[in-house]
Structure 1
Amino acid sequence: MGITTAVADRKGKECRELSRDNSVKTNGKSKKGRRRQKKMVPIQRLYDTCKEVFAESGTNIIPPPENVERLRAVLDGIRPADLGLTPDMQHFRSSVTQQYPTITYLHLCECDQFSMGIFCLPPSGVISLHDHPGMTVFSKLLFGTMHIKSYDWAVDDPNTSAANSSTAVPSGVRLAKVKVDSNFTAPCNTSILYPSEGGNMHRFTAVTACAVLDVLGPPYSDPDGRHCNYYCDYPFARFSVDGVSVPEEEREKYAWLEEREKPPELAVVGAKYRGPKLVEH
């Protein structure tokens, strides 16, 4: 999700070097190593898996399908208690004096290959429509009910590609196709989006208090061209464009997206993660 670099403590960006276990291995893995793996807390298992899955991470580099499924399986197995989270924590309460509910971001880790963090949303909290350029993103809803609306650009759709070169479309406005527009209630499967498909632009709206664990590979980076962009979305009927052929019954599947500045109503604050310890290496 975009916003992570605005609230995360980037002083821990460089991964620390730890000593490795050099014990004698049996059948490719030592007994001591197997015991350690069995006792490993879920957040550490997630970190170690990310280190391997995103070892060759870079802009528009998607991990192999077997690695995507491997990381998805680890995320699917994580529960709120594994991260020290409960719905009654202060992070998930709305203040009657606030016009827009404040979202709390718990920074877990960030290095050049990936980042991990938790978004804590009070009821009615909204993470505005934003994108993830050149990134593969895993989002795990830990608890609560959330509405997700996501889009992919419609440039590859043969019936709508003409819109991208039409002078009738205002500058900065592009046609997108709806990928997801539904409520999700935990427990549910981890969602995955890719650089050009899967719903790369999305908006999260908390129906109830909810928490989302996010893994981004690679993370946002302005120098590398991975800047978080925000958008307004408009119904397809908002603009009349010559050369665009979309059947009437399918027009709800499309929308016009216009890039905007970071929305003033998006209020995100950082807080210290106090769950089970994570050792970076």
Structure 2
Amino acid sequence: MPRINKTSLIQKIVSQACLTFKNGTSSGFGDNKVLLDQQAGLVTLLSEISAADLKIAPPKKVSISSHQSPAFPPVTYMHICETDVFSMGVFLLKAGASIPLHDHPGMNGMLKVLYGKVNIRCYDKLDKADGGESESEGHFEPFKGDDVRRAMLRSSGQYSEQSGPCILTPLKDNLHEIDAVDGPAAFLDILAPPYDPDDGRDCHYYKVLQTAEEKSEQNDENETWLLEIPQPDDFWCGGELYPGPEVSV
């Protein structure tokens, strides 16, 4: 009997991502039922994906010193595909590695852990207060200008391969930082549209300036201040070949 070629799960995810993001979602999905239904279908497929489906596995144990060597990047990336509509790949974090706080200007994102555990903290940028300088803003006089932004901590939680996807939109949970917890971790990552500095979608990094102890009693307990910074010296991302099923877009 002839062999029946079964569509891989990652191909189904790619096809659904094309449907979900093809009409553009620069302001999020809003109340558009068609877009929301397509997004729900994509979330369902992402919830089913596993490391085995992509033919990857947690690395064998190696010494901690090798993780710290400049020859070994703390984070690597497996490119799966990219179109004008979205990009997809796998980030692999070594034990103790972090992806610093960064943004996704005008972009939607979905992150699904494949193995290990990660802690994700998500922030939203807030408009600057009207009516002049606030007491908190004056506290950061050395950082005057657009480099300092008010922000809101929206969520903080731990994700594993049993968790559903972490979802960000252009307006909600758009900034996040990701820390590997108790060992190495990997996650499938979708960004729509992809980063494109020529189209205003460049990646910016941030540092939290205001701690909980420094916050005014008048401020929301989750409100903070962020300073835009260069890419941290201790963070860089290497590349790895994607070993999973081929996809077409």
TM range (shorter): 0.7 to 0.9
1:191 has 2:158 as partner: no
Aligned to 2:177: 203
Aligned to 1:146: 118
1:179 has 2:154 as partner: yes
Aligned to 1:267: 236
Unaligned runs of 5+ in 1: 1-34
* 8 Å Cα contact 2:107-2:169 kept in structure 1: yes
Aligned to 1:65: 36
How does the TM-score come out when normalised to structure 1? 0.74
Aligned to 1:107: 79
Q: Distance in 2 between matches of 1:219 and 1:259?
A: 21
Aligned residues: percent identity? 32
Aligned length: 231
Q: Which protein shows a greater Rg?
A: 1
Alignment of structure 1 residues 230-241 onto 2, 5 Å = 230-236=205-211
Q: Distance in 2 between matches of 1:146 and 1:122?
A: 11
Superimposed CA distance per residue, residues 151-172 of structure 1 (whole angstroms, 9 cap, x where no aligned partner) = 11233xxxx8359854625322
How does the TM-score come out when normalised to structure 2? 0.83
Residues 61, 147 of structure 1: CA spacing in aligned structure 2 closer, same or farther, 3 A cutoff? closer
* 8 Å Cα contact 2:17-2:86 kept in structure 1: yes
CA RMSD of aligned residues (A): 2.6
Q: Distance in 2 between matches of 1:66 and 1:78?
A: 19
1:79 has 2:50 as partner: yes
* 8 Å Cα contact 2:25-2:108 kept in structure 1: no
Residues 238, 228 of structure 1: CA spacing in aligned structure 2 closer, same or farther, 3 A cutoff? farther
Structure (1 or 2) with the greater strand fraction:
2
**How much has 1:209 moved relative to structure 2?**
1.1
Unaligned runs of 5+ in 2: none
**How much has 1:133 moved relative to structure 2?**
0.5
* 8 Å Cα contact 2:28-2:169 kept in structure 1: no
What secondary structure is seen at the aligned counterpart in 2 of 1:196?
coil
